[in-house]
Structure 1
Amino acid sequence: MIRNLLFSLFFFSGIIIISIIFIPAFFLPQKITLFGGKIMGYWTSFCLRVFLSTKIIIKGRENIIKDKKFFIASSHQSMFETFFLQTIFNSPVFILKKELLLLPIFGWHLKKIGSISIKRNKISKENLSFFNDISKQINLSDRPLIIFPQGTRLLPKDRTPFKKGSSRIYEELKISCQPIAINSGNTWPKKGLKKINTILTISILKAIEPGLQKEIFLKKLESVIYSELDFLN
């Protein structure tokens, strides 16, 4: 309990402090704010290692796609991946709930780094331009897009089918997909106390190349990520 309290105190205090320190970056080039995001990622891993004695392992670095555009599709079990993946990849472009952009300071940073917002489970004028916004961002940047095809944080053993939106993105962008399986929920669950002395693994899987039918892509993506999670558990 004490280690959980210390983790929460230092982690959230650090995120707030970093956000405040980088307020001047609102008026500076975007790369300054992106650097702040990487610091948050390293701070996250530091707090896990120090306060929860978490061992963080990165598997499959050799599978990272290089020299061409791609998007990342990652499992989602905790807040960990939203911060830490920025340290592995080139400052990914996030797709996130519109409400997050309304948060004071932190939400402003999310907007500054070019995050793409969507209103969940709603058809609106704002959502109609969603795929156009993604295409523009990818075409104008060398940063990869990151999506969480499960749609929300899930428990480690939850095998909810992936959302169809990820296959639509694959079909629209016509670029490679980098699947990632992360068992972060075994350390940092969506609800309840965080676990001590665990192994948190980020498994970077082989790319799924463009050209598949979107239904086949979705089944393959779900299969490779859930199979890896079963192995990690």
Structure 2
Amino acid sequence: MMTPLQRLRAMLFSVQMYPMMLVIGLLYAPWAIFSKHGARACCKAYANWIMWTAGWMVGIRCEVRGTPPAGGALIAAKHQSFLDILMIFAALPTGRFIMKKEILRMPVIGQYARLLGCVAVDRAKRGGAIDKMVQDAEASDEEAGQLIIFAQGTRVVPGVKAPYKVGAGVLYEQLNQTCVPVAVNVGLMWPRKGITRLPGVAVIEFLEPIEPGLERKEFLNLLEQRVEAGSDALMREAGFDPAPAVAKQAG
């Protein structure tokens, strides 16, 4: 539970996030329009701004563990809140996201997603969306970049288990790239909904890479094992036991 002071600080933090997105987006726009480097610099500047203000405004300290890949790779991450998006992007040299198509219509975020070469997925088209995602990923002119996919397809509340979607497996097979799993605990401090912001150490951890060549089912099983075990360990380290939440969900 948040104290009245913590709630006030969380409200102020949340209020400043969106105007600063517009301000930083406009400042970088002349460079970003003509260069992916400019678009990437803008998005990293915003991510770093949010992580910095989260530290002194609401007491969330952001920490990156493991080794982010420098070259081309598939990044398959757990997704708990907006914060893990920012932390993963800031940690990678040339990251871009697999994202739902609706985001492209959002102000500022949508325009910069296009400039970065993010791959949009129309989830309403189901099977066709997977084919289109692979085609767009393969056709992209981004060289040696890191393609980021949230393996469960949506934000998942800490401690709740959700299936791993086939999209990560299809990309792993088709792109024939090393996959780097990413574990997170950020949903404990920054939940998926609302303005609650709790002090603590928000961690993303780049785990042991999975080399290409596995069968899709074997890959997805290994990916889930590593990401879930890593995320559970980070949550326990932060003082949260995921087991009761899983039991409650199952019941």
TM-score calculated relative to the size of structure 2: 0.85
Q: Deviations over 1:61-119 (max 9, x none)?
A: 3xx334x5211011100001222222211131211111111123331111111111011
CA distance in 2, matches of 1:148, 1:98: 14
Q: Deviations over 1:125-151 (max 9, x none)?
A: 7764321211122x7412110000110
Residue 69 in 1 paired to residue 75 in 2? no
CA distance in 2, matches of 1:119, 1:225: 25
Correspondence for 2:132: 129
CA distance in 1, matches of 2:44, 2:33: 19
State how many pairs are aligned. 229
Identity of paired residues, percent? Answer: 28
Equivalent residues of 2:51, 2:61 under 8 A apart: no
Residue 43 (structure 2) aligned to one of 26, 33, 37? 37
Residue 119 in 1 paired to residue 122 in 2? yes
CA distance in 1, matches of 2:207, 2:194: 29
Tell me how far 1:23 sits from its aligned partner: 2.6
Residue 12 in 1 paired to residue 15 in 2? no
CA distance in 2, matches of 1:177, 1:124: 22
CA distance in 1, matches of 2:227, 2:123: 23
Equivalent residues of 2:123, 2:129 under 8 A apart: no
Secondary structure of the 2:123 match is: coil
Q: Which moved more, 1:207-216 or 1:16-25?
A: 16-25
Equivalent residues of 1:23, 1:105 under 8 A apart: no
Tell me how far 1:124 sits from its aligned partner: 8.0
Q: What amino acid sits opposite 1:69 in the alignment?
A: G
Residue 150 (structure 1) aligned to one of 146, 149, 152? 152
